[in-house]
């Protein structure tokens, strides 16, 4: 297997939640390691399935954690979902301000549940909804039953935070799919809309770094890239996982970068003891 050597450059695509931070807590050493990697010549971009924050919020949080990221190097599932709507359409939003922002940038009118005309929309766009209640879910259900397309930013069942896991956008989506019988078109990692966004924005990607094989790993395979699994987020040491076999496993991104910059050959499962089981 080809190894990364000292001074090797390329394009990395890095997840955020569970890789750079969990909630507001920085994962120790992550930001410093990524800065060193960038200084060594590796091109870094970031793709998050978290559609709730606005782009500016993501960028500000990266800056607070010590990473100065060009806006063009930040990709989100909200952007990928907005690309599934056509300019001039109206979309009901079950999610956060990041979805609304992405829709507006696309020329799509975002509509909030409970507002006039909420049923007469072209699409219902679902993401992580921190104020979800029965009535918001009902509005989404009625719009879909009235003929609106169902679009999801992602279908991640859980979302990593400082003290564990919380329900993710996929949990919201599951309720809506059960209520309507509809199946959503899912935009975020690892699906084709996300891969198309990456290809258009970045071109070739050499390595995808993430904490979830079913999203980050599957996206890497779709892009023809290698996949480095870090055990600092959703996937923990010793956990049983499904999805593509990772090319590399590390305890965290700092561990991964340390080995890359040292020039040591990296083989599957070599890093970060307690590799996941299958």
| Backbone angles phi and psi of 196, in degrees to 5 | -65, -40
Q: How far is CA 228 from CA 45, 48, 90, 181, 225, in A?
A: 15, 16, 39, 36, 10
Per residue in 78-101, pLDDT (tens digit) is 999 999 999 999 999 999 999 999
pLDDT of the residue at 37: 96
Domain residue limits, the chain: 78-186
DSSP 274: S
Query: How high is the mean pLDDT in each 10-residue block of the chain (278 residues)?
Result: 46 97 94 96 97 97 96 98 98 98 98 89 97 96 97 93 88 97 98 98 96 96 96 85 88 94 65 53
Q: Return the CATH number of the domain spanning residue range 78-186.
A: 3.40.50.1000
Q: How far is CA 147 from CA 134, 169, 201, in A?
A: 20, 22, 32
Of 148, 145, 132, give the one whose Cα is nearest residue 179: 145
pLDDT of the residue at 242: 77
Q: How far is CA 99 from CA 21, 42, 105, 124, in A?
A: 21, 30, 10, 11
Q: Catalytic residues, which ones?
A: 15, 17
pLDDT of the residue at 267: 54
pLDDT of the residue at 266: 55
């Amino acid at each position: 297997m080809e190894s990364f050597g000292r001074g090797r450059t390329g394009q990395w695509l890095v997840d955020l939640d569970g890789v750079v931070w969990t909630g507001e807590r920085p994962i120790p050493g992550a930001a410093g390691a990524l800065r060193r990697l960038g200084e060594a010549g590796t091109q870094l971009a970031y793709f998050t399935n978290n559609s709730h924050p606005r782009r500016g919020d993501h960028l500000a949080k990266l800056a607070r954690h010590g990473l100065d990221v060009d806006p063009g190097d930040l990709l989100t599932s909200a952007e990928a979902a907005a690309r599934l709507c056509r300019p001039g359409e109206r979309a009901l939003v079950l999610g956060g301000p990041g979805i609304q922002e992405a829709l507006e940038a696309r020329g799509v009118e975002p509509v909030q549940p409970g507002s006039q005309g909420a049923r007469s929309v072209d699409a219902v766009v679902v993401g992580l909804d921190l104020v979800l209640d029965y009535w918001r879910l009902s509005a989404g259900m009625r719009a879909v039953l009235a003929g609106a397309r169902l679009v999801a930013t992602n279908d991640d069942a859980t979302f990593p935070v400082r003290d564990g896991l919380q329900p993710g956008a996929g949990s919201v989506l599951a309720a809506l799919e059960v209520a309507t019988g509809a199946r959503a078109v899912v935009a975020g990692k690892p699906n084709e809309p996300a891969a198309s966004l990456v290809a258009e924005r970045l071109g070739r990607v050499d390595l995808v770094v993430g904490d979830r094989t079913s999203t980050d790993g599957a996206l890497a395979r779709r892009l023809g890239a290698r996949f480095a699994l870090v055990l600092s987020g959703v996937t923990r040491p010793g956990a049983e996982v499904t999805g593509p076999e990772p090319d590399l496993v590390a305890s965290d991104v700092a561990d991964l970068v340390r080995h890359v910059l040292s020039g040591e050959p990296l083989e599957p499962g070599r890093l970060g003891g307690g590799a996941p089981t299958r």
